[in-house]
């Protein structure tokens, strides 16, 4: 099948210095989910991640690459992947972390739940059957607190608001004003759910087992964490004064 053929799913991986993980991850994704294509959005990794991707794309038609000038943020990388999926005619775009914290073995369960044009499938650590491996207590507490805060401030129905292992229908993304998204970093995960919910999106959570990265360096920093809390607060107040779309209202939101 050619890239973008109707019914195809595009798996997106935002990368910066992931050469230790990417070759095996791409191979595993393609073996476990033989009907998907993979798009790598690389932020000019100095470790050769982008170069490896270009070399492999020349011999593997299921692999595609976008090169960006530098570290422009996880949120903007995810948006670039969504826009690529829309432009190339994919029916769904599935985002994963590039460090094996999102294991490809969960792909069949997530893909099995796709179908309609309004439902976002969320790989969830916080429903029955979900779990997190390798985190210290402090990080567990921080994640739980952020998720509770997001649910309360943004009135989100999902138990896992901050995870990025998700599958979106492109028909729904086409309705989104990407220029209205303010998050460049990790608050993107909560913000995109907020925008889509106001368009009438529904959400379905599938349990996943999240594992802390074994290779490479984490990109999380405290400055982005504090910025995320500020953006969530602003969106919460914005939601009090800006009415959701008619589609969202019709579902009782």
Q: Does 83 map to a domain?
A: yes
Q: Does 60 map to a domain?
A: yes
CATH number at residue 95: 3.90.550.10
> What's residue 158's pLDDT?
96
Q: Does 253 map to a domain?
A: no
Provide the phi-psi class of 134: left if phi over 0, else alpha when psi is between -120 and 50, else beta: left
Q: Show the domain range for 68.
A: 9-245
Look up residue 192 and give its two tokens: 């995109």
53 contacts 41 by C-beta, under 8 angstroms: no
pTM of the model: 0.87
CA atoms within 13 A on the CB side of 194: 30
> What's residue 253's pLDDT?
37
- CA–CA distance, 166 with 107 (Å, rounded to integer): 10
> What's residue 121's pLDDT?
98
CA atoms within 13 A on the CB side of 118: 9
> What's residue 187's pLDDT?
86
Q: Does 230 map to a domain?
A: yes
Q: Does 153 map to a domain?
A: yes
Q: CA 58 → CA 2, 51, 75, 217, 239, distances in Å?
A: 15, 11, 27, 28, 46
Helix 188-198 vs helix 74-87: angle between axes, to the nearest 10 degrees?
40
Cβ-proximal residues to 240 (8 Å cutoff; 6+ apart), any chain: none
* Nearest alpha-carbon partner for 206 in 99, 129, 96: 129
3-state helix, strand, coil in the chain (%, to 5): 40, 20, 40
- CA–CA distance, 68 with 44 (Å, rounded to integer): 6
CA atoms within 13 A on the CB side of 60: 20
Q: Does 1 map to a domain?
A: no
User: What stretches in the chain show pLDDT beneath 70?
Assistant: 1-6, 213-229, 237, 239-253
* Angle ∠(49,51,57) on CA atoms, nearest 5: 100
Q: Does 106 map to a domain?
A: yes
Strand (E) or helix (H) holding 139: helix 137-154
99 contacts 15 by C-beta, under 8 angstroms: no
Please give the tally of structural domains in the chain: 1
């Amino acid at each position: 099948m050619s890239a973008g053929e109707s019914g195809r799913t595009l798996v997106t991986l935002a990368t910066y210095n992931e050469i230790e993980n990417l070759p095996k991850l791409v191979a595993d994704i393609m073996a476990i989910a033989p009907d998907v294509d993979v798009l790598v959005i690389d932020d000019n990794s100095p470790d050769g991640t982008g170069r490896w991707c270009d070399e492999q794309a020349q011999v593997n038609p299921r692999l595609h690459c976008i090169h960006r000038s530098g570290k422009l943020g996880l949120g903007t990388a995810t948006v670039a992947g969504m826009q690529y999926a829309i432009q190339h005619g994919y029916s769904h775009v599935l985002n994963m972390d590039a460090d094996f914290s999102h294991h490809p073995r969960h792909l069949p369960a997530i893909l099995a739940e796709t179908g309609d044009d309004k439902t976002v499938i969320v790989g969830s650590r916080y429903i029955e059957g979900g779990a997190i491996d390798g985190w210290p207590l402090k990080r567990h507490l921080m994640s739980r607190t952020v998720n509770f805060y997001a649910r309360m401030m943004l009135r989100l129905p999902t138990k896992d608001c901050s995870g990025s292992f998700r599958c979106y229908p492109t028909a729904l993304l086409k309705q989104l004003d990407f220029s209205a998204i303010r998050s460049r970093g990790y608050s993107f995960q909560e913000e995109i759910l907020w925008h889509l919910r106001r368009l009438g999106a529904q959400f379905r959570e599938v349990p996943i087992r999240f594992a802390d990265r074994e290779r490479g360096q984490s990109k999380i920093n405290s400055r982005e964490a504090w910025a995320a809390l500020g953006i969530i607060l602003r969106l919460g107040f914005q939601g009090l004064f800006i009415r959701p779309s008619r589609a969202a209202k019709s579902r009782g939101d």
